[in-house]
């Protein structure tokens, strides 16, 4: 079963999932499937690979030590709550803020957070470009949001020096990285670290692109 695979992978990569993580992810799965009929959270084809392409993919940075299980993280363009909710489940000591502009999707994520009793997560219904907060985060991430060139200026405003920007990207993101090089330099970000996700974690050969604020 998909949840068995998630458990085995967590063991393989030495990341201890909380005892209730798989149960909470199963409940999250049921919520998505039920709500998808009216909210169109994911395409029908995506539902069939919910665990491998969305749940496991969301928590991969924890397995690979790209995101640590402590600190503050902001997730922009969360949609149905991805990657924010799986991260909150897998790392209960990580404080997670999720920003989503779509009112219906934000309400769905808010309801799931409440039903799963995730004390370390909350949702903000706002456009990421307009959201202002006096808090600096250790990690700022985006998954299926926009090009790197457009995403970096938004995320860099949420992190202090030493903070990380984590972008979930497909296998062919080299052109995006090159296109964002001038923007990276202007924002005072490090050269990107490109983490190729092991095939057992991502059959689609997704990558994580990481920047650090100098």
Model pLDDT, residue 4: 65
User: What element of type H or E holds 123?
Assistant: strand 121-125
Structure tokens at 171: 């296998």
Q: Give the torsion sign (CA, 185, 166, 69, 205).
A: negative
Phi, psi torsion values for 78, nearest 5 degrees: -70, -25
Structural domains in the chain? Answer: 2-212 (3.40.50.150)
pLDDT, averaged in runs of 10, over the chain (214 residues):
66 86 93 88 78 87 93 94 96 97 94 97 94 92 91 95 95 94 97 89 85 95
pLDDT value for 1:
45
Residue 166 pairs in a beta bridge with: 141, 210
What's the pLDDT at 70?
92
| Coil, helix or strand at residue 83 | coil
Q: What is the largest CA-CA distance in the chain?
A: 47
Q: What are phi and psi of 52, to 5 degrees?
A: -70, -40
Going by DSSP bridges, is the β-strand pair 193-196/207-212 parallel, antiparallel, or unpaired? Answer: antiparallel
Please state the pTM of the whole predicted model.
0.93
């Amino acid at each position: 079963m998909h949840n068995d695979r998630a458990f085995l992978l967590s063991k393989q990569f030495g990341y201890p999932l909380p005892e209730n993580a798989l149960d909470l992810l199963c409940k999250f799965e049921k919520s998505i499937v039920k709500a998808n009929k009216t909210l169109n959270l994911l395409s029908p084809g995506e539902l069939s690979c919910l665990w491998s392409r969305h749940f496991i993919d969301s928590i991969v940075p924890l397995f690979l030590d790209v995101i640590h299980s402590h600190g503050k993280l902001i997730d922009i363009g969360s949609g149905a709550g991805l990657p924010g909710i799986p991260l909150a489940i897998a790392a209960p000591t990580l404080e997670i803020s999720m920003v989503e502009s779509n009112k219906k999707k934000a309400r769905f994520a808010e309801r799931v957070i409440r039903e799963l009793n995730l004390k370390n997560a909350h949702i903000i219904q706002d456009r990421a470009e307009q959201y202002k907060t006096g808090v600096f985060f250790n990690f700022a991430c985006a998954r299926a949001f926009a090009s790197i060139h457009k995403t970096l200026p938004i995320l860099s405003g949420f992190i202090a020096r030493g903070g990380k920007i984590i972008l979930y990207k497909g296998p062919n993101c080299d052109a995006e990285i090159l296109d964002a090089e001038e923007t990276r330099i202007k924002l005072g970000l490090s050269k990107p670290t490109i983490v190729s996700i092991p095939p057992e974690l991502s059959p689609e050969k997704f990558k994580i692109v990481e920047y650090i604020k100098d």
